[in-house]
Amino acid sequence: MRVAVPHRWPVDRAEAEAIQDRLRPRVRVEPDDAPPPRPRLVAGLDVAYAKDDERLAAAVVVLDAATLEVVESVTTVGRAAFPYVPGLFAFRELPTLVTALERLTVTPDLLVCDGQGVAHPRRFGLACHLGVLTDLPSIGVAKQSLVGDHADPAPQRGAWSPVRDAGEVVGRALRTQTGVKPVYVSVGHRVSLAAATDLTLRLAPAYRLPETTRHADRLSREALRAALGTPA
């Protein structure tokens, strides 16, 4: 698929934040009463890092939303494009993830990202960034919270509590499995928070994390191992 590749890459924090502020207005958040999306192909994206914190491998895995079976997968190796700074995390892995997306022969109907969407200091986390670059619906499903406060959701699968930051609801702490730590769901692009929640639950029928993320996590680690075996 085609991706609107960023032309200028930030060299420091100020430039990176400026890019986020410039792209932020392009994010489209659907209202919760909007017609729910019915994606047929859902893509999971993840990145594995080498211990030297520089080389990395990205994986994009496309699943059939109905059966959760793998339709296609792509892996790419690269190098960290930015130091890790909370809030600027996307700049680390964006180039390698975009390369992987461009090698996809099918176009997914939804991107499920391993990180935040609008639950971000400038309301522009990785899921928003990838959503805007591809103009595809996207959601963020993070294992940890980045901003805001929330109550602990009830222990049952499906229970959730809003994540509020600076007076606005930016995401949900969602229990995908009874008695298991919640995940943090937020809108990336062209979806509602209600739909993002519903999709996350559907994609996580048996484990805490969505099957999309689990597949991408495993494949990115395998690709990294293979790449490290052949030092560049």
Partner DNA sequence: GCGACAG
Partner DNA sequence: ATCTTGTCGC
Q: Which one of the spans 1-9, 66-74, 123-131, 167-175 is the region binding DNA (CB under 7 A)?
A: 123-131
Identify which of residues 7 and 51 has a Cβ nearer to DNA in the complex. Answer: 51
Report, in Å, the least distance between residue 33 CB and DNA: 27
Choosing from 108, 112, 114, 212, the residue that interacts with DNA (CB under 7 A) is 114
Q: Is 114 annotated as a binding residue?
A: yes
> What SS3 class is residue 17?
helix
Sign of the C-alpha dihedral computed for residues 51, 55, 57 and 58 taken in this order: positive
Binding to DNA by CB under 7 A, coded x per residue (else -) over 1-40, reads ----------------------------------------
**Residue 146 interacts with DNA (CB under 7 A)?**
yes
Q: Which residues contact 230 (CB under 8 A, 6 or more apart)?
A: none
Q: Should residue 140 be labelled a site residue for DNA when binding is judged by CB under 7 A?
A: yes
Q: How would DSSP label each residue in 87-137?
A: T-THHHHHHHHHHHHHT-SS--SEEEESS-SS-STTS--HHHHHHHHHT--
Site string for DNA, 50-79 (x = CB under 7 A): xx-x--------------------------
**Phi-psi group of 123: left, alpha or beta (phi > 0 → left; psi -120 to 50 → alpha; rest → beta):** left
Candidate ranges 23-31, 63-71, 84-92, 200-208; the one touching DNA (CB under 7 A): 84-92
The residue from 78, 115, 137, 182 that contacts DNA (CB under 7 A) is 115
Site for DNA in 154-173 (CB under 7 A): none
Site string for DNA, 199-228 (x = CB under 7 A): ----------------------x--x----
Cβ burial of 108 (10 Å; 0-12, 13-18, 19+) is buried
Cα–Cα distance measured from residue 99 to residue 101, given in angstroms and rounded to the nearest whole number: 5
Instruction: Phi first, then psi: give them for residue 230, nearest 5 degrees.
Output: -125, 75
* Interacting residue with DNA among 31, 86, 229, 231 (CB under 7 A): 86
For residue 161, what are the contacts with CB-CB under 8 A and spacing of at least 6?
150, 151, 152, 153, 172, 173
Contact criterion met (CB below 8 Å) for 214 and 203: no
Determine if residue 46 is labeled as part of a ligand binding site.
yes
Using CB under 7 A as the criterion, which residues of the chain lie in contact with DNA when the complex forms? 46-51, 53, 84, 86-90, 114-116, 120, 125-127, 140, 142-146, 221, 224
Numbered residues of the known binding site for Mg(2+): 46, 114
